[in-house]
Structure 1
Amino acid sequence: MPSRLGPLSRELSIPYYADAFPAHDIFHAKRVRDVSLRLANQRPDSVDRDVLAAAAWFHDIGRPLERVGVIDDHDKWAANEATALLEAEDVATDRITAIEHCLRAHSIRASSPDPETIEAKLLFDADKLDATGAVGLIRLACIVGERSGRTGDQYAVIDDASTLSVEQAEEPDIDILREWARERLDALYTDQGRRLGESRWDFMQSFFAQFASETGTGTEE
């Protein structure tokens, strides 16, 4: 009989994404679910796919509250909130504990614990991979926009200020997208994740070369 943990977690998580911005919405959660299961299917060892799918649905439910300053750490908040939700549904304690660890360990921030289980490592990798490739470029650009709007200042510009003849404030250019993506790829835990990441990185390199050509910082053919 198929487990109901994945579909249940999806149902429980959906309301939390109602106020999410595009970079961390329910579609991001679905992509992370899909990629994490894809990576799991490439492994010879055992992976609890129900725990992995549930953690993927829940992993960013705290992002909308973190964005507006209601909470400080969406990882810890999501772990606590998901635990309460799943306990109310009589989900087995060991599975809740496994999901909770995945949620606490999914972030790249220095304060997050390292993922110790294969499910937590796969969730971490799938989440970071969604910041790479074609979708990743769109997501990272959305994040730049979110941060600019929140601070009231330009967080990044999309061109190279050094090519202008007028004085400009020192702000990061589009290279920040390259840096963010590479930082996440370098942090991946699994061989499966690294292989997928490098194929996405190849596409990103082509994009950045084309961007440089179009903006006059490269040679346009």
Structure 2
Amino acid sequence: MPEETLYKKFLLNNCSFDSAHDLAHIQRVVKSAQTICDEEGGDLDIVKAAAWLHDSVTLPKNHPDRSKSSILAGEKAAAFLNSIDFPETKVKHVVHAIEAHSFSAGIEPTTLEAKIVQDADRLDALGAIGVARCLMVGGKLDRALYQPEDPFCESRDPDDSIYTIDHFYEKLFKLPELMNTESAKEMAVERIRFMKQFLSELQKEI
């Protein structure tokens, strides 16, 4: 069975998704991870496996154990990889890449492959798709779109637990400087440019 089909089958049969962390998100992360790996090097087998399986467990943003999602995903991925013809010596590296991809987990990536997967996942929070996903999550959590008196945090600290647009300032605009690889940094800067254009248009409209 082709590798891509094998991973898809596992995800569809064994995992639950939310609208911002669905199969399409995973496929975008795989694509970005492969692009970065082509530029930066690294073991593509590890990168692809970790990218495909990084969200095999996803807890909601407001779940008390949200920060443990990537640990649980790593355990689930290891069990799956050990059940198929995947090199045993590479499983632990896949698990580390999965555990370290999460922003909320706070685990430092120590391998190039883990850095690539973390970068690829963070890229999917930026650009046009990043705007769409941010608004989807904010709506699902029933958060207001923006603070009416100061929508763009010009004279207040952002609070994305209340206002969705605040998430741009509290987290998303900081991601380019947190990228591990030069390739991802360049892609992130370009995506941030679009997001600022979106906010500029939003400012005109409101």
Q: Alignment partner of 2:76: what SS?
A: helix
Alignment of 1:20-169 (within 5 A): 20-43=17-40, 46-63=41-58, 66-67=59-60, 72=66, 73-109=68-104, 111-148=105-142, 155=143, 157-162=144-149
* Distance across 1 between alignment mates of 2:133 and 2:164: 16
Paired position in structure 2 for 1:211: 202
Change (3 A) 1:138 1:16: farther
Q: Structure 1-normalised TM-score? A: 0.79
Q: CA deviation at 1:125?
A: 0.5
Does structure 1 conserve the Cα–Cα contact (< 8 Å) formed by 2:134 and 2:164? no
Q: CA deviation at 1:192?
A: 0.6
Count of residue correspondences: 194
Instruction: Give CA deviations for 1:45-65 in whole Å, capped at 9, x if unaligned.
Output: x321121111111111111xx
Q: CA deviation at 1:108?
A: 1.0
Change (3 A) 1:137 1:16: farther
1:175 aligned to which of 163, 166, 170: 166
Task: Note the aligned Cα RMSD (angstroms).
Answer: 2.3
Structure 1 segments unaligned to the other structure (5+ residues): 149-154, 164-169, 216-221
2:8 aligned to which of 10, 14, 19: 10
User: What fraction of aligned residue pairs are identical, expressed as a percent?
Assistant: 25
Change (3 A) 1:84 1:209: same
Instruction: Give CA deviations for 1:126-154 in whole Å, capped at 9, x if unaligned.
Output: 10010100000001111212333xxxxxx
Change (3 A) 1:96 1:9: farther
Does structure 1 conserve the Cα–Cα contact (< 8 Å) formed by 2:47 and 2:113? yes
Does structure 1 conserve the Cα–Cα contact (< 8 Å) formed by 2:50 and 2:97? yes
* Distance across 1 between alignment mates of 2:103 and 2:184: 15
Q: Structure 2-normalised TM-score? A: 0.84
Does structure 2 conserve the Cα–Cα contact (< 8 Å) formed by 1:5 and 1:50? no
Instruction: Give CA deviations for 1:72-96 in whole Å, capped at 9, x if unaligned.
Output: 5210111111111111114221121
